[in-house]
Amino acid sequence: MPGSQTPTLWQLRFGANCIAGGGVEFRVWAPKLTRLDVRILSEPERAIPLTREEDGVFSAVVPDVAEGADYQFLLDGDRLRPDPVSRWQPYGVHGTSRVANPGSFAWSDANWKGIALKELVTYELHIGTFAPEGTFDGAIARLPYLRDVGITAVELMPVVEFPGNRNWGYDGASLYTPHSAYGGPAGLKTLVDACHREGLAVVLDVVYNHLGPEGCYLPDYAPCFTSSYQTPWGKAINFDGPESDGVRRYFIDNALYWLTEYHVDALRLDAIHAIFDFSARHILDELGDAFHRQAQRLGRQAWVIAESDLDDVRIINPRSVGGYGVDAQWHDDFHHALYTLLTDDRDGYLMDFGALGDLAKSISEGFVYDGKYSRYRRRRHGSSSAGRPGEQFVTCVQNHDQVANTSKGERLASLVSPDKQKLAAAVLLCSPFLPLLFMGQEYGETAPFLFFTSYEDADLVAAVRAGRKQEFAAYYAETDFPDPQAEVTFRHCKLDWTKLAASPHAEILRLYQDLLALRQRHPVLSNCRKDLTAVAFDEQAKWLVMTRSDPAGEEAMLLCNFAEKMQPVPVSSVGHPGWELALQTAAPAYGVEPASTRPPSFVAAETLEGKISMEGFSAALYLRGYYSEERTQVATET
């Protein structure tokens, strides 16, 4: 087309960038400063003044500096600080920065184009506790296992540089720097490359609602905070106040950086309800738009997923109807509804759940709180998401927050019986959403997942320890409180991979593998068609029946008994005759002794009218319309 131009790929312009032919350009946005020097620590050691440009940007090209050189900035002649856009912090958050050349890594994923949103089956993991080594390289050895389980995407809890060697990662201080103890920039790129080689997408958890309390020096350079709003971590990020344009650019650049230099396939935005922005264009809208445009230029599919407790459909609504255009969000209402039914826990925000109707609504519509009154919040809450497709909801029965903050770090496997775990797995993987598993869930891991840190600031250590004790005083005796700073707290959280071969873990793992294999083979289980899903239930009897269909003709029916004892579950057959039992959780293959009464393996439509007996805390999945017409006729006749 005459006059058309190839879209220009975004590149990171700030920090230290190696120049073709030699030298490094140092470029920093520092509107709070009047003078900025770069101090080169390689021989000969020297300080070079940067030139102040428009909008508070300082820059200089240093010809005789190369990849691997250590440097730091001298602020107004009296403070030495790391680079706020450092690609590498080999000595930790307080140490000097190091020049890293993104072009030096040899990628092998040129043919990787990402995966469709509705194909995401996500496995959330924490690098430090997932594998014994606690490193990016250590995680690589487990990737074939994840692929064989049926996982399609690995979600990494935040991996940017934080104080010390132990942390969840949400206290990141250097937002462009993969943590040195995990393996640094090369280690993360090697892991992403290996994931793509195994056919696994990579979701990176990023934190754009607050900055870490120790070692984050961005406030020395720029007005990154505002006193107009407060978050649980203090002042909010300045996304809409004076000089906020540069702050917005800093975080948007960060999103594009992970997409471009690290080839990640999706970002999970932490707690977007703590992002305050009353600009004409919300930061989520601007960031997501830039992210999608860059992915398109790169020829890849990439996604933005939000964590939100707002139940606000604007987050996932398209821009064409006034939404922010976020691709998907975590579906907390599904977790809360299912978790309360399994555990009877009603503490805190869980007081708003506990009815089977809540679970039914979370499956058929999405948000349970769509403007109705919330006892926990003591006000009406949320908006309707009934019209949004299922692929916009990431569902789970466990994640890092829910394990650590609602049950003293105890996983579901330590709280409920194997039967309940299997029932939860069936509901999760047969619902019309994007399922997420928390590391170890697939085999019933019982190691706790607790909050842990390794801060270097003694005052901060004391404050965090006291704050956690106060927040969870009702859960712990004084002698039982797990000290977040103690290394033993961290070590208790490491997965125990020896459990895989032992009962009941091996049987739980087999169930997850079988459910995910069925999901992969049968579009009716993976089409995310919430609009083709119906749920019936009985609150008193504690049974639930989910039916799903697919435009190609497949149908599925999941029968769930949430009662302790065996009971008949009523079903109604419509459409094609004949259903085949694809899977039942109360089966010998999954560690359950053969029952005297079990769901029939194949039933004709005329015999299905009525009820099917179900073991307590069990589920049975029936499919029809996917096998041959001849087989259906023969089975019906016999």
Does the pLDDT of residue 595 top 80, yes or no? no
CA 170 distance to own-chain centroid: 12
Q: Are strands 266-269 and 201-206 parallel, antiparallel or unpaired?
A: parallel
Model confidence band, residue 98 (pLDDT cutoffs 50, 70, 90):
very high
pLDDT at 572: 67
pLDDT at 381: 98
What residues contact 280, with CB distance under 8 A and at least 6 apart? Answer: none
Mean pLDDT on 269-284: 98
Mean pLDDT on 47-51: 97
Q: Are residues 283 and 235 in the same domain?
A: yes
CATH number, domain of 95, equals 2.60.40.10
Does the pLDDT of residue 478 top 80, yes or no? no
**For helices 283-298 and 244-261, what crossing angle results, to 10°?**
30
Mean pLDDT on 316-344: 97
Mean pLDDT on 5-24: 88
Model confidence band, residue 597 (pLDDT cutoffs 50, 70, 90):
low
pLDDT at 364: 98
Whether 4 is in a domain gets the answer no
Q: Which positions are catalytic?
A: 270, 307
Whether 518 is in a domain gets the answer yes
Q: Are residues 92 and 196 in the same domain?
A: no
Q: Are residues 513 and 454 in the same domain?
A: no
Mean pLDDT on 55-66: 96
Distance CA 195, CA 182 (A): 16
Model confidence band, residue 463 (pLDDT cutoffs 50, 70, 90):
very high
Quick: pLDDT tens for 248-268: 999 999 999 999 999 999 999
Whether 382 is in a domain gets the answer no
pLDDT at 611: 86
Q: Which of the listed residues 56, 82, 104 is the one where a domain comes to its end?
A: 104
Check the CA dihedral 466-471-473-475 and report its sign.
negative
CATH number, domain of 554, equals 2.60.40.1180
Q: Are residues 65 and 154 in the same domain?
A: no
Q: Quick one: which of 437, 396, 414, 523 has its CA closest to 118?
A: 523
Whether 135 is in a domain gets the answer yes
Distance CA 192, CA 449 (A): 24
- For residue 569, give the 3-state DSSP assignment: strand
Does the pLDDT of residue 601 top 60, yes or no? yes
Whether 6 is in a domain gets the answer no
Q: Are residues 502 and 525 in the same domain?
A: no
Mean pLDDT on 292-300: 98
Model confidence band, residue 604 (pLDDT cutoffs 50, 70, 90):
low
Of the listed ranges 13-17, 73-77, 201-205, 625-629, the least confidently predicted one is 625-629
Counting Cβ atoms within 10 Å, is residue 318 exposed (0-12), middle (13-18) or buried (19+)? exposed
Q: Are residues 148 and 90 in the same domain?
A: no
Inter-CA distances, 346 with 339, 412, 473, 537, 624, Å: 10, 15, 17, 21, 38
Does the pLDDT of residue 617 top 70, yes or no? yes
Mean pLDDT on 142-161: 98
Q: Quick one: which of 238, 212, 185, 270 has its CA closest to 94?
A: 212
Q: What are the residue ranges of helices labelled H in 476-627?
A: 487-492, 505-521, 523-526, 605-608
| DSSP-assigned letter for residue 594 | P
pLDDT at 456: 94
User: Can you name the residues that pair with 561 across neighbouring β-strands?
Assistant: 543, 618
Distance CA 605, CA 602 (A): 10
Q: Quick one: which of 368, 389, 310 has its CA closest to 117?
A: 389
Q: Are residues 409 and 276 in the same domain?
A: yes
Q: Are residues 137 and 248 in the same domain?
A: yes
pLDDT at 603: 65
- Contact criterion met (CB below 8 Å) for 336 and 326: no
Query: Which tops the pLDDT comparison, 221 or 44?
Result: 221
Q: Which of the listed residues 449, 484, 506 is the one where a domain comes to its end?
A: 506
Counting Cβ atoms within 10 Å, is residue 431 exposed (0-12), middle (13-18) or buried (19+)? buried
CATH number, domain of 406, equals 3.20.20.80
SS (H, E, C) 410-438: CCHHHHCCHHHHHHHHHHHHHCCCEEEEE
| DSSP-assigned letter for residue 30 | -
Whether 333 is in a domain gets the answer yes
Tokens found for residue 35: 């003078």
Q: Are residues 416 and 523 in the same domain?
A: no
pLDDT at 471: 80
Q: What angle do CA 483, 486, 488 make, to 5 degrees?
A: 105
Mean pLDDT of the chain: 93
Does the pLDDT of residue 384 top 70, yes or no? yes
Of the listed ranges 17-26, 225-234, 325-334, 570-579, the least confidently predicted one is 570-579
Model confidence band, residue 600 (pLDDT cutoffs 50, 70, 90):
confident
| DSSP-assigned letter for residue 16 | E
Q: Are residues 78 and 144 in the same domain?
A: no
Q: Are residues 459 and 516 in the same domain?
A: no
Whether 328 is in a domain gets the answer yes
Share of the chain above pLDDT 90, in %: 87
Inter-CA distances, 347 with 451, 453, 477, Å: 19, 25, 17
Whether 1 is in a domain gets the answer no
pLDDT at 607: 56
Residue 147 domain boundaries: 117-344+388-422+433-506
Quote the number of domains for the chain.
3
Counting Cβ atoms within 10 Å, is residue 254 exposed (0-12), middle (13-18) or buried (19+)? buried
What residues contact 579, with CB distance under 8 A and at least 6 apart? Answer: 557, 573, 602, 603, 605, 608, 622, 623, 624
Mean pLDDT on 582-593: 94
Q: Which of the listed residues 41, 70, 104 is the one where a domain comes to its end?
A: 104
Mean pLDDT on 183-208: 98
Inter-CA distances, 282 with 99, 152, 276, 314, 432, Å: 33, 31, 9, 11, 29
Q: Are residues 246 and 127 in the same domain?
A: yes
Does the pLDDT of residue 113 top 80, yes or no? yes
pLDDT at 636: 32
DSSP state string for 112-167: -----GGG--EEEE-HHHHSTT-SHHHHHTTHHHHHHHT--EEEEPP-EE-SSS--
